[in-house]
Amino acid sequence: MEFLKQPPRFLFFTGKGGVGKTSIACATAIRLADSGKRVLLVSTDPASNVGQVLGITIGNHIVPVPAVPNLAALEIDPQAAAQLYRERIVGPARGVLPEDEVRGMEEQLSGACTTEIAAFDEFTALLVDSELTAGYDHIVFDTAPTGHTIRLLQLPGAWSGFLEAGKGDASCLGPLAGLDKQRSQYREAVEALSDPRRTRLVLVARAQQSTLKEVARTHEELAAIGLTQQYLVINGVLPAAEAEQDSLAGAVHAREEAALAAVPETLARLPCDRIPLKPFDLVGLDALRQLLDGVAVPAAPGTAPEPALEAPDLARLVDEIAAEGHGLVMLMGKGGVGKTTLAAAVAVELAHRGLPVHLTTSDPAGHLADTLNGSLENLSVSRIDPRTVTEQYRERVMQSKGANLDAEGRALLAEDLRSPCTEEIAVFQAFSRVIREAGRKFVVMDTAPTGHTLLLLDATGAYHREIARQMGDKHFTTPMMQLQDPKQTKVLIVTLAETTPVLEAANLQADLRRAGIEPWAWVINNSVAAARPRSPLLRQRANNELAEIQAVATRHASRYAVVPLLEQEPVGVERLLALSRPAHR
Return the beta strands (E) in 362-469 as ranges.
379-383, 442-446
* CB-count burial class (<10 Å; 0-12, 13-18, 19+) for 585: middle
Annotated active-site residue in 22, 124, 210, 211: 22
Give 562's strand partners: 524
Q: What are phi and psi of 364, to 5 degrees?
A: -60, -30
Say whether 22 is catalytic.
Answer: yes
Sign of CA dihedral 407, 412, 414, 415: positive
443, 328 Cβ separation under 8 angstroms: yes
Structural contact between residues 549 and 145, judged by C-beta atoms closer than 8 angstroms:
no
The whole-angstrom separation of Cα 99 and Cα 104 is 9
Question: Smallest Cα–Cα separation from 558: which of 490, 503, 507?
Answer: 490
Q: Is-catalytic flag, 487?
A: no
**Active-site residue 21, yes or no?**
yes
Q: Residue 105: which residues within 8 A CB-CB, separation 6 or more?
A: 89, 90, 93, 97, 174
- 3-class DSSP state for residue 178? helix
**Do 336 and 215 contact (CB within 8 A), yes or no?**
no
Q: What is the DSSP letter of 243?
A: G
Choosing from 16, 21, 213, 401, the catalytic residue is 21
Residue type, 446: D
Other CB atoms within 10 Å distance of the CB of residue 332:
25
In the set 495, 500, 527, 580, the catalytic residue is 500
| 114 given a catalytic annotation | no
Of 15, 16, 17, 20, which is the active-site residue?
Answer: 20
Task: Quote the CA–CA distance of 3 and 498 in Å, as a whole number.
Answer: 25
Is 45 a known active-site residue?
yes
Q: Residues with catalytic annotation?
A: 18, 20-23, 45, 500
